[in-house]
Chains A and B, each alone.
Chain A
């Protein structure tokens, strides 16, 4: 397991998401109102919308472009069950650091 520290809880406002980059890796990280954190692929599989800019409620995120809703725990589409996003293991340390299991994140495809 290759854990990397990608940032701190304080980098993300409550109830929002931000995109983090470590080398070639890009992930969207969400902080819920309950201070739980989730990491997912950054783009919506529908039309590539920036999920980190979406509305977060409970454990779901709503893509800002066309309102596709995803479960942050499983990545499953809530509004459209044919759609799915990748989710990655992320850990919040006691001192508030965000640790991502980078081995679980695939290399970005060549353009």
Chain B
């Protein structure tokens, strides 16, 4: 085996240690002999938790992330308490303050940053030494020194009202001191918060007994030996015997300067996190400057560590860091705060959505640009934070109903946060999967939501909980989830998205599921993928699709809906919910003749004959003399209607007649998931058209509103207004065009409400209403071809398509 390369890591903080963990996770121990230098005499600890150490709620062990044993187990040589002071790039050697000289093949600089001490008169006692009683707040040593000094101090002033400063002031208050915060800006945490939120935070901080002084620039630190007070530029004074400086951080870039690397605000790196001057030197963390930016939050540091590890181990030599969008969710002195992006609108087109309830300490502000989130501040109630952070990070289109961004409207019980959710809480109601089961799967090594769903079956029922599971997995894995490319595949065994698959199927002229498996799926016959492929092929090849029934779910083999006891339900077509007395009698006669166990009115305004054995289906259909109602499949299902204009005294449009025409036109059209439609004769919405996949609402003078992407099942959502049109014909045309766009682009089992949110209603409107992509005529023609190819499958009662198609049991017979 080749000799191991020497990887020397300068810096043993959160960035350095995490980067090494990432290298080890990629089998880096095989490639590298790893040495780490840390100028603190401990293993890596969680710097974010220093406030717990200061306040006494956590011990040093509690905040340790990598104890010494971790370094031993991973055969890492650690020089704790030694700082590297020189770098000779020519000889590839680093030198420590204790004289250790070490050769490296690859060097990682992760020296982090230190507290910035502003040059205030009297703050220093001597050369680089702080006056007694003055502290930076950055390390375990700083914190322990503060605790020791606080024992004999009475009043402490924290300079800096950012997150860290407020935490320090709170910790000092908890240690029994009179605690002040002095802040230069006009409101607290001015980087993350606007003036309103800052003012509310001030109220909360003052309620803890901490005194807040805003707009104050410190001019002098008094005291000959040790601190006795501060004075400010406006002439005011505070008496105190302790000062904590939390006025920002400065990157530790000295090693870069010593080694002659390009240093601006920090050491300049490329997208591989490599110094721009030396291919053997990488830099991660707060001492790295990437595309002009220096980051001080933990999430970007971890992302950098991943890119470094991918690149240095050769796993992916194109691994690249593209910068981070900063979003944080944190507790500031007990107050929940989430902040991302801008705090104030910057351009004229920026739209501000705001809610404020000062008494409860609740504040929400969103900044929206072109339908996308560019900034947000949440305080108090931050239940929408995960959703908003995701929307911000992915720049996904926001729903038109802005109120739903701030609150959960009419949804189920208010969301509890994941950490306060008990382990037995059921997440997936279909398959009975609890938070605890999901946590166990993640602990067992499932890194993607998909892997967790596969292992637990959670999210594999109606699918309504998929987003909750995705969020939960991300939370449990602490951001260490992996993107699984196969989530974008139409079916798992063929590595293509739906548009790619459709193109391939068209190019190769594949018209059956078996042909797709053998030509594109490497011959692997995935049973679960079969119905998905059959549905897609039926849409791509209207009238030409070779319908192999073995590729169909049982419902589509026998044109009825399977029940828990293996019997079926039969739903005849009753267009618009209207039938004649004769038809009603025929249904009753059939129910009596076949002793149908249950006759039930459905939610779609039809009559369901439930509990029919498979071998009676042909007889039932023949005796009914109705067309199939398509109540079993992923297809157009039904269009319900209200009483409309003929009898209703409020009616504005012929909802009954329109519903019948819709049903006659779209019956039997296959689609990625079921399509439930409705027409309403006026906006009173008796037929619930606002919450249908496609809903038409008469608004008078022959005009119809078209709503798409509504839902009132496991998920409740009001449809998006697609357009308001002047005639039934136009409404029919646009409704059909929308359905065709959905049929061609939706994933298998993706309902319209998810589809609309994924694609964005602006794009849907552009395609369907404005024909912005020039495909409207194609969509209309494709829909018409599917309509022309549709047939009534109940005709198979007398002309079965497969041997023993409707047999419940075959008796063995002698030849």
Taking Cβ atoms with an 8 Å cutoff, the residues of A that contact B are: 4-7, 10-16, 18-22, 26, 33, 47-50, 53-58, 60-62, 64-67, 69, 79, 97
Interface pair A56/B564, CB less than 8 Å apart? no
Q: What residue of chain A has the Cβ atom nearest to residue B528's Cβ?
A: A62
Chain A nearest CB from B463 CB (Å) reads 13
Which residues on the A side are within 8 Å of B810 (C-beta)?
6-7, 11, 18-21
- Chain B 455-468: CB-based contact to A (< 8 A → 1; otherwise 0): 00100100000000
- Chain B 773-815: CB-based contact to A (< 8 A → 1; otherwise 0): 0000000000000000000000000000011110111111111
* Alpha-carbon distance A14/B548, docked complex (angstroms): 9
Interface pair B802/A57, CB less than 8 Å apart? no
* Alpha-carbon distance A18/B531, docked complex (angstroms): 19
Tell yes or no: B527 within 8 A of A by CB: yes
Chain A nearest CB from B718 CB (Å) reads 31
Main secondary structure of the interface of B (DSSP, over half): loop
Known: A58-B524, A67-B460. A16 touches B809 (CB 8 A): no
On chain B, the number of residues with a Cβ less than 8 Å from chain A's Cβ atoms is: 36
Interface pair B527/A13, CB less than 8 Å apart? no
* Alpha-carbon distance A19/B360, docked complex (angstroms): 65
Interface pair A11/B815, CB less than 8 Å apart? no
Which residues on the A side are within 8 Å of B551 (C-beta)?
15, 55
Interface pair A47/B528, CB less than 8 Å apart? no
Taking Cβ atoms with an 8 Å cutoff, the residues of B that contact A are: 431, 457, 460, 514, 524-531, 548-551, 553-554, 557, 562, 564-566, 802-805, 807-815
18 sampled A-B residue pairs with Cβ under 8 A: A5-B815, A6-B812, A11-B804, A11-B810, A13-B803, A14-B550, A20-B811, A21-B812, A26-B809, A49-B566, A50-B562, A53-B557, A53-B566, A54-B527, A56-B550, A57-B525, A57-B526, A58-B524
Chain B nearest CB from A25 CB (Å) reads 8
Chain A nearest CB from B512 CB (Å) reads 11
Q: What residue of chain A has the Cβ atom nearest to residue B811's Cβ?
A: A21
Q: What residue of chain B has the Cβ atom nearest to residue A26's Cβ?
A: B809
Choose one: B457, B529, B553; the contact of A64 (CB below 8 Å).
B553
* Alpha-carbon distance A26/B809, docked complex (angstroms): 8
Which residues on the B side are within 8 Å of A54 (C-beta)?
527, 554
Known: A13-B802, A18-B807, A21-B812. A50 touches B553 (CB 8 A): no
Interface pair A55/B553, CB less than 8 Å apart? yes
Interface pair B550/A13, CB less than 8 Å apart? yes
Interface pair B525/A33, CB less than 8 Å apart? yes
Choose one: A7, A33, A61, A97; the contact of B514 (CB below 8 Å).
A33
* Alpha-carbon distance A79/B812, docked complex (angstroms): 32
Q: What residue of chain A has the Cβ atom nearest to residue B814's Cβ?
A: A5
Q: What residue of chain B has the Cβ atom nearest to residue A30's Cβ?
A: B550
Known contacts A7-B810, A47-B564; can you find 7 more A-B pairs with CB under 8 A?
A: A7-B812, A13-B550, A20-B811, A22-B811, A56-B527, A57-B527, A64-B554
Interface pair A16/B802, CB less than 8 Å apart? yes
Interface pair B554/A62, CB less than 8 Å apart? no
Which residues on the A side are within 8 Å of B566 (C-beta)?
48-50, 53
Which residues on the B side are within 8 Å of A14 (C-beta)?
548, 550
Q: What residue of chain B has the Cβ atom nearest to residue A17's Cβ?
A: B550
